[in-house]
Structure 1
């Protein structure tokens, strides 16, 4: 099956040995930008296939949202014949991206050192838990573990929640996945100049430590320290959606212009000049708990719609506190057609999330539906030159499976 692809990465071929969230999120972005992505799955399939809700076995909702635009090839890489297929694919691909632990990938003979002579132009991207020169190199890693190790649950306790907790989204997986995307695109650019590929390691731990400490290293940024860690504005318990008379509203009164306009809008213009806690960015930062606590007391005096009208008129940033239900009816998302209905060949009518970026010239075509397990095994093997008898033998041995 050959699909004509358009977009900035059209013509780039990506061999995808990823599963769950981090890697598939990255490779779906590459596919949405026009790359041809062939996903190698075990006979059991990506674990994400089996997380419900779902309409049919192996087609869970998160899998559908992370694997559009890809082809699914089943290979049991523990078998030599299946590894032989993978090596043939390496010969013709620009990028191999994996979130298999590096030592396990080396045992399969799919590490960079084993492949560089076979395909000197190959860009080999290893998404893993930790940088490979430190003592954690071989440790397993999952989103929860990395969130904890990078300090997010500790920050949540500082924020006013009693018990440590994780951010309720696969934050570490998705942030690291974005790092993998820019690593691939930058490596492709570099290869245009050098003519050769290279190995890239994208570690979750270091990625999230950079993400967290960029905000919260605080006084520890200096030697000797100039105070404790933490960015006070982000950690105050009063930084949250504000209760109104009839609901909640997200408001950020941030700079001097905003605060002047806010006090003028509520007929308290003199407070900005007279109350030193509010009169400068430095003073507000020093008294952020009190500043946000007073704002919370003020917000409860009007309804959400009254506040939105008043704040919009004063050009003060505000947004509704949406639920997933609300997002499906959001006027902006509907106007830009970010969430679309489509007809999946096996799953029926489903919702698809769009590509957040738009391109004036390198327009991308709509991605194909997320594949059934092994949906493209036959076509990929035929493209590699395997005969009908050879394909039948691979299927009979369990090296592959064909979803006809």
Structure 2
């Protein structure tokens, strides 16, 4: 069912690589996570002081088997190659230069494992002078790609994205590339290199704006609110001090918003005819919207906007989202085992399979939890296992 029968060896840390492998595990693949003796750094992030459980680590590594190998030593590298012998996919976000130094780069492994699909998750790709530069989603996906500058209004101080935001986009992108390579291998019998980067994923995520920049040589991004050219687009504050956002989807939206805020007479004024090209008129129309929305609670205006088929959404909190029936019905959450006899809620992967899928919820492994079991299954002798451990 789905990816059952595929074997994945993952040697990565932080988020993008582990998250990619976690999605594959959710969808039925057998995933063996290889960690250094120090363990994945995210094990320590927001760990529960009572049991050491990190919801960050658990979310990115659920459903995997955990193995500790010191790949800086010959015994560790030899053991890893034993694992790769019958693996379908290798996922790593270790820097390319480090992998080459210890003989675990794609070009070195390819002759020995011609069927292996090698997924390299990087900051800036595998070529050029920046291939070995460390990349994090906030530095590469968010800041360097232009995503942040396009999103942050020019009259505000720059701010960072939330952790893991670009990593998860890159992870699901990597999953897509891996599955394309798996499909190809059915006919060719050969593996291939699949390469993704935070920078490229960020470029694709902002590609609406980037396509305009590439085509016209310029693009209008997120400027000050008072300079935005569409009066009803953006956020508005309600009577109960909440915010909602409106996205115009057709020429009727302005009329419907005016009806919703009890200002239908505005539509009859020729100055407000769509498209409004005079920015002074746009600002006047926006001021009418501000005054109108301020007379309703979020619930009241939401009902009106729904009746008029206006595309809108509340500025919700994570607490509201976590308690939302809408999110629950959309499949946004799963329950995971904590490895200690309990369970807790966690974010779900972004794809659901209503006609049946492998069960999700197995705990993330403790550090080195399955080392002996996995190495025995890979054919290592007791002496070899003892040397590795």
Structure 2 residue 295 is matched with structure 1 residue 298:
no
Q: 1:266 Cα shift?
A: 3.4
Deviation per residue, 1:11-53 (Å, 9 max, x gap): 1111101110111111111111111111100111101111114
User: What are the equivalent positions in structure 2 for 1:180-329 lying under 5 Å apart?
Assistant: 180-216=174-210, 218=212, 221-222=215-216, 225=217, 228-231=218-221, 234-237=222-225, 240-254=234-248, 255-277=250-272, 279-280=274-275, 292-329=286-323
Conserved in 1, the CA contact under 8 Å of 2:90 and 2:118?
A: yes
Equivalent residue number for residue 173 of structure 1: 167
Equivalent residue number for residue 67 of structure 2: 73
Question: How has the CA–CA distance of structure 1 residues 343 and 358 changed in structure 2, closer, same or farther, with 3 Å as cutoff?
Answer: closer
How far apart in 2 are the matches of 1:384 and 1:89? 6
* Structure 1 range deviating more: 34-43 or 311-320: 311-320
Equivalent of 2:150, from 149, 152, 155?
155
Conserved in 2, the CA contact under 8 Å of 1:253 and 1:262?
A: no
Conserved in 2, the CA contact under 8 Å of 1:284 and 1:291?
A: no
How far apart in 2 are the matches of 1:58 and 1:109? 34
How far apart in 2 are the matches of 1:95 and 1:289? 55
How far apart in 1 are the matches of 2:9 and 2:337? 26
Q: 1:171 Cα shift?
A: 2.5
Q: 1:194 Cα shift?
A: 1.5
Structure 2 residue 366 is matched with structure 1 residue 378:
no
Equivalent residue number for residue 3 of structure 1: none
Question: How has the CA–CA distance of structure 1 residues 57 and 342 changed in structure 2, closer, same or farther, with 3 Å as cutoff?
Answer: closer
Q: Please give the TM-score of this superposition, normalised by the length of structure 1.
A: 0.85
How far apart in 1 are the matches of 2:285 and 2:247? 10
- Please give the secondary structure, in 2, of the residue aligned with 1:34: coil
Q: 1:269 Cα shift?
A: 3.0
- Please give the secondary structure, in 1, of the residue aligned with 2:126: coil
How far apart in 1 are the matches of 2:371 and 2:278? 61
Q: 1:145 Cα shift?
A: 1.7
* Structure 1 range deviating more: 79-88 or 344-353: 344-353
| Residue correspondences, number | 381
How far apart in 2 are the matches of 1:22 and 1:127? 7
* Structure 1 range deviating more: 56-65 or 311-320: 56-65
How far apart in 2 are the matches of 1:128 and 1:322? 33
Question: How has the CA–CA distance of structure 1 residues 38 and 61 changed in structure 2, closer, same or farther, with 3 Å as cutoff?
Answer: same
CA RMSD of aligned residues (A): 2.6
Structure 2 residue 360 is matched with structure 1 residue 366:
yes
How far apart in 1 are the matches of 2:335 and 2:278? 46
Conserved in 1, the CA contact under 8 Å of 2:137 and 2:166?
A: yes
Question: How has the CA–CA distance of structure 1 residues 43 and 277 changed in structure 2, closer, same or farther, with 3 Å as cutoff?
Answer: farther
Question: How has the CA–CA distance of structure 1 residues 220 and 388 changed in structure 2, closer, same or farther, with 3 Å as cutoff?
Answer: closer
Equivalent residue number for residue 82 of structure 1: 76
Question: How has the CA–CA distance of structure 1 residues 386 and 137 changed in structure 2, closer, same or farther, with 3 Å as cutoff?
Answer: closer
Q: 1:91 Cα shift?
A: 0.9
Deviation per residue, 1:146-195 (Å, 9 max, x gap): 1221123433553431x222222422222211211111011111111211
How far apart in 1 are the matches of 2:163 and 2:52? 22
Equivalent residue number for residue 101 of structure 1: 95
Conserved in 1, the CA contact under 8 Å of 2:124 and 2:200?
A: yes
Q: Please give the TM-score of this superposition, normalised by the length of structure 2.
A: 0.89
Question: How has the CA–CA distance of structure 1 residues 24 and 290 changed in structure 2, closer, same or farther, with 3 Å as cutoff?
Answer: farther
Conserved in 2, the CA contact under 8 Å of 1:12 and 1:35?
A: yes
Equivalent residue number for residue 18 of structure 1: 12
- Please give the secondary structure, in 1, of the residue aligned with 2:300: helix
How far apart in 2 are the matches of 1:191 and 1:208? 28
